[in-house]
């Protein structure tokens, strides 16, 4: 099976405190630790496990710039066969539909049976996968938390719905799936693995090599634009205990006991 | 302003709570006219749903088709593309069905799309400025959106509070005949109900709950010891289940369990809305997190910025000491 995984490099929320910059129009990006979007990493692992069972190749693609090569190499160190970078200044300011349009054009130049995305990105909104499927006119399923390849060009998938329940579906290939965290246990990538793929060439495409009309993507075509970031005025907010650890523990025990929280 | 539609999620003939929240969201976009509800499903289920909506919606568009007995997003999308006027504002709840439906629908309608909207900031004739949260709720963003050829917005559950308003007396309009044949390349087979776990966290009044901040599987024992000392149950947020450190049955949140404890000790939990949505009954929340900007501190009653792995064992020791004193 030929599998394409669409991935992104994002600020890692488990490594960073996200704060506003001094101008208040963006987050403070100096010194941010970036990593692969967590959901996308699960998608790559799922692709690798499918290929290990039934054969095929895994290609990881990202729309970004030279800095984003590092996530492609990381996923290649995990075992992905190919990494592809799609990069052009004309793509800057693209909204989700713009990104989906760029990916659609790339996908139509190849032949993929299955396209995976993460359910969402740290700074996104669970949108590119569903849009991409609609642009390709492929069937789509979101929030996929298990996957089995059936005979006859079909998959049996389960979707995560409310209360930990699972919705089981059959879906025809080719299709687009958005992959939920927890579907598998992504393998560890060591420095040695990354060094081994450090010099593997990464093909790069731009607007002209993909034949994309710049007026259909980028800021000019974007109907959705982020204006600024802000930190909303808090509601009442927590009463912060700011004593020594011992004082905080004493106060906490007193509060919990008063609320009937100690037996 | 274009006409505003609200997609109604329903089950067993009952509209979801989101139906009333979408009325409130629509009201913020257009205060002077009432939104139109769109109700799609099998005929037998729809009459009671529509009957209950006529007090809050100006009009109710009904699409009845046996092929839509289960809300398969691909089929629902085809039906909506046939029925909806092209410059509409469509509101859809941001839950598992909305996430499945809305992005692809926006493409087929050639409408703009903004997901997981938590507030409406500014309304103009051809644009909307809305608020979203990013990075797990650590920051919010204003997003401006051109709605001149329509827009699909997914609305975060719980973000818009239903308000009392005068009864609407909406009429039901049957749109079923406009839909035509529906075909899907994805077929619903069945729903598998979550397995019960060894501990039923929904039955406990005190929960010690752990998140990503617990860092490693071996550290889960530190929290279990605290829970034991307090006579509490151990629960968790999603990353702990994803990492397979605790069973799914221990997870609090939209994709886990809804709990109603009296006291909730959130340890290393950032406070994503999907987690908080599983926390009902206004518990007393104590948050312990090393990140002072964690969104959990906005909703907690008491907050402590500290290192869990040092703080929790000391807290456990303190509670054990108190027990041994009281036994003497």
Which tops the pLDDT comparison, A18 or B232?
B232
Provide the shortest C-alpha distance from residue A106 to chain B (in Å).
Answer: 18
Could you please state the CATH topology (level 3) that the domain comprising B4-178 is classified under.
Rossmann fold (3.40.50)
> DSSP label at B252?
B
Are A8 and A15 a contacting pair, CB within 8 Å? no
Residue A214: domain span = 2-221
B146 touches chain A (CB under 8 A): yes
pLDDT in tens, B243-271: 999 999 999 999 999 999 999 999 999 99
Q: Tell me how far apart the terminal alpha carbons of chain B are, to the nearest angstrom.
A: 73
d(CA B212, CA B238): 8
C-beta neighbour count of A74 within 10 angstroms = 22
pLDDT in tens, A20-75: 888 878 899 888 899 999 999 999 999 999 999 999 999 999 999 999 999 999 99
Are B103 and A134 a contacting pair, CB within 8 Å? yes
Across the interface, do A17 and B138 touch by the CB < 8 Å criterion? yes
Tell me phi and psi for residue B263, to 5 degrees.
-130, 135
Q: How confident is the model at residue A234, as a pLDDT?
A: 64
Across the interface, do B112 and A252 touch by the CB < 8 Å criterion? no
Rounded (10°) angle between helices A96-108 and A128-136? 50
Which tops the pLDDT comparison, A17 or B276?
B276
Cβ-nearest to B140 among A139, A232, A263: A232
Q: How confident is the model at residue A123, as a pLDDT?
A: 83
Which tops the pLDDT comparison, B205 or B33?
B205
Provide the shortest C-alpha distance from residue A31 to chain B (in Å).
Answer: 16
Across the interface, do B135 and A123 touch by the CB < 8 Å criterion? yes
Q: Which of residues 185-244 of A touch B (CB under 8 A)?
A: 185, 223-232, 234-235, 237-241
Q: How confident is the model at residue A232, as a pLDDT?
A: 78
Cβ-nearest to A229 among B105, B139, B314: B139
Across the interface, do A141 and B100 touch by the CB < 8 Å criterion? yes
Q: Is the pTM of this model over 0.90?
A: yes
Provide the shortest C-alpha distance from residue B175 to chain A (in Å).
Answer: 24
Across the interface, do B265 and A256 touch by the CB < 8 Å criterion? yes
d(CA B240, CA A175): 30
Q: How confident is the model at residue A260, as a pLDDT?
A: 85
State how many domains chain A has: 1
Are B113 and B174 a contacting pair, CB within 8 Å? no
A100 touches chain B (CB under 8 A): yes
Cβ-nearest to B254 among A135, A162, A241: A162
pLDDT at B156 over 70: yes
Token duo for residue A210: 């993909």
Provide the shortest C-alpha distance from residue B168 to chain A (in Å).
Answer: 31
Q: Which of residues 192-211 of B touch A (CB under 8 A)?
A: 192-194, 205-206
A8 touches chain B (CB under 8 A): no
Q: What's the pLDDT band for B140 if we cut at 50, 70, 90?
A: very high
Chain B residue closest to A161 (CA)? B96
Q: How many CB pairs under 8 A join A and B?
A: 258
Which residues have a Cβ under 8 Å from the Cβ of A62 and sit 6 or more positions away? A6, A7, A8, A9, A68, A71, A72, A83, A84, A85, A86
Cβ-nearest to A253 among B104, B136, B318: B318
- Region B116-136: mean pLDDT is 95
Instruction: Answer yes or no: is A117 within a domain.
Output: yes
pLDDT at B328 over 60: no
Could you please state the CATH topology (level 3) that the domain comprising B201-327 is classified under.
Rossmann fold (3.40.50)
Which residues have a Cβ under 8 Å from the Cβ of A183 and sit 6 or more positions away? A42, A45, A46, A144, A145, A146, A147
**CATH number, domain with residue A115:** 3.40.50.620
Q: Average pLDDT of chain B?
A: 94
Are B165 and B48 a contacting pair, CB within 8 Å? no
Alpha-carbon distances, residue A73 vs A34, A192, B167, B207 (angstroms): 14, 12, 60, 42
B11 touches chain A (CB under 8 A): no
Q: How confident is the model at residue A235, as a pLDDT?
A: 65
Q: How confident is the model at residue A96, as a pLDDT?
A: 97
Instruction: Answer yes or no: is A252 within a domain.
Output: no
Q: Buried b vs exposed e over B159-169: b needs ≥16 C-beta within 10 Å?
A: bbebeeeeebe
pLDDT at B164 over 80: no
Instruction: Answer yes or no: is A78 within a domain.
Output: yes
Instruction: Answer yes or no: is A241 within a domain.
Output: no
Alpha-carbon distances, residue A221 vs A91, A94, A115, A121, A210 (angstroms): 10, 7, 25, 22, 17
Provide the shortest C-alpha distance from residue B264 to chain A (in Å).
Answer: 9
A255 touches chain B (CB under 8 A): yes
Q: How confident is the model at residue A172, as a pLDDT?
A: 98
Instruction: Answer yes or no: is A230 within a domain.
Output: no
The CATH 3.40.50.620 portion of chain B extends over: 4-178
The CATH 3.40.50.1220 portion of chain B extends over: 201-327
Tell me what percent of the residues of chain B surpass a pLDDT of 90.
85
pLDDT at B326 over 90: no
A259 touches chain B (CB under 8 A): yes
Chain B residue closest to A123 (CA)? B134
B159 touches chain A (CB under 8 A): no
pLDDT in tens, A150-180: 999 999 999 999 989 999 999 999 999 999 9
- Region B179-205: mean pLDDT is 94
Provide, as residue numbers in chain B, all residues whose Cβ is less than 8 Å from the Cβ of A164: 194, 248-249, 251, 255-257
Assign B203 to helix, strand or coil.
helix
Would you state the torsion angle of the CA atoms of residues A57, A139, A38, B296, taken in this order, to the nearest 10 degrees? -170
Which residues have a Cβ under 8 Å from the Cβ of B32 and sit 6 or more positions away? none
Across the interface, do A97 and B113 touch by the CB < 8 Å criterion? yes
pLDDT at B166 over 80: no
Q: What's the pLDDT band for B327 if we cut at 50, 70, 90?
A: low
Which tops the pLDDT comparison, A131 or B194?
A131
Token duo for residue A49: 């496990």
C-beta neighbour count of A199 within 10 angstroms = 7
Provide, as residue numbers in chain B, all residues whose Cβ is less than 8 Å from the Cβ of A128: 103
pLDDT in tens, B199-209: 999 999 999 99
Provide the shortest C-alpha distance from residue A255 to chain B (in Å).
Answer: 9
């Amino acid at each position: 099976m030929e599998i394409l995984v669409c991935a992104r490099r994002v600020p890692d929320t488990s490594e960073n405190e996200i704060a506003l910059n001094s101008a208040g129009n963006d987050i403070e990006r100096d010194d941010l630790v970036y990593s692969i979007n967590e959901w996308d990493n699960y998608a790559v692992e799922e692709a690798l496990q499918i290929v290990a069972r039934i054969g095929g190749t895994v290609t990881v693609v990202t729309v970004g710039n030279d800095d984003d090569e590092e996530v492609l190499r990381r996923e290649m160190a995990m075992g992905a066969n190919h990494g592809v970078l799609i990069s052009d200044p004309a793509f800057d300011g693209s909204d989700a539909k713009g990104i989906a349009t760029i990916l659609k054009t790339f996908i139509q130049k190849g032949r993929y049976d299955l396209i995976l995305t993460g359910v969402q990105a740290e700074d996104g909104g669970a949108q590119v996968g569903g849009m991409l499927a609609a642009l390709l006119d492929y069937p789509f399923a979101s929030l996929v938390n298990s996957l089995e390849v059936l005979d006859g060009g079909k998959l049996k998938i389960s979707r995560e719905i409310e209360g930990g329940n699972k919705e089981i579906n059959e879906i025809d290939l080719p299709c687009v799936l958005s992959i939920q965290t927890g579907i598998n246990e992504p393998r560890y990538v060591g420095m040695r693995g990354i060094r081994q793929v450090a010099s593997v060439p990464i093909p790069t495409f731009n607007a002209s090599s993909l034949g994309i009309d710049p007026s259909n993507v980028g800021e000019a075509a974007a109907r959705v634009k982020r204006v600024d970031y802000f930190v909303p005025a808090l509601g009442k907010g927590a009463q912060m205990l700011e004593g020594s650890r011992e004082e905080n523990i004493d106060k906490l025990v007193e509060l919990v006991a008063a609320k009937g929280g100690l037996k | 302003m274009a006409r505003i539609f609200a997609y109604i999620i329903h089950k067993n003939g009952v509209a979801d709570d989101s139906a009333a929240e979408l009325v409130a969201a629509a009201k913020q976009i257009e205060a002077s006219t009432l939104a139109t509800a769109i109700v799609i499903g099998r005929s037998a289920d729809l009459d009671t749903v529509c009957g209950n909506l006529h007090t809050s919606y100006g009009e109710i568009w009904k699409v009845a088709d046996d092929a839509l007995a289960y809300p398969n997003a691909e089929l629902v999308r085809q039906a909506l593309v046939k029925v909806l006027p092209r410059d509409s504002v469509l509101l859809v709840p941001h839950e598992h069905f909305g996430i499945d439906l809305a992005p692809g629908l926006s493409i087929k309608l050639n409408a703009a799309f903004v997901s997981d909207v938590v507030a409406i900031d500014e309304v103009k004739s051809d644009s909307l400025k809305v608020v979203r949260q990013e990075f797990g709720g650590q920051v919010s963003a204003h997003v401006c959106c051109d709605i001149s050829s329509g827009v699909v917005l997914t609305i975060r559950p719980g973000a818009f509070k239903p308000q009392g308003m005068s009864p609407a007396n909406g009429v039901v309009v049957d749109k079923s005949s406009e839909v035509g044949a529906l075909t899907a390349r994805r077929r619903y087979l069945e729903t598998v109900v979550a397995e019960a776990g060894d501990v039923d966290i929904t039955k406990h009044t005190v929960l010690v709950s752990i998140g990503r901040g617990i860092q490693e599987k071996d550290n889960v024992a530190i929290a279990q010891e605290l829970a034991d000392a307090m006579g509490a149950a151990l629960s968790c947020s999603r990353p702990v289940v994803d990492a397979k450190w605790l069973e799914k049955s221990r997870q609090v949140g939209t994709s886990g369990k809804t709990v109603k404890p009296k006291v909730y000790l959130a340890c290393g939990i950032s406070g994503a809305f999907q987690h908080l949505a599983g926390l009902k009954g206004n518990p007393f929340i104590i948050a312990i997190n090393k990140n002072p900007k964690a969104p959990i501190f906005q909703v907690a009653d008491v907050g402590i910025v500290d290192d869990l792995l040092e703080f929790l064992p000391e807290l456990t020791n303190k509670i054990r000491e108190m027990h041994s004193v009281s036994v003497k």
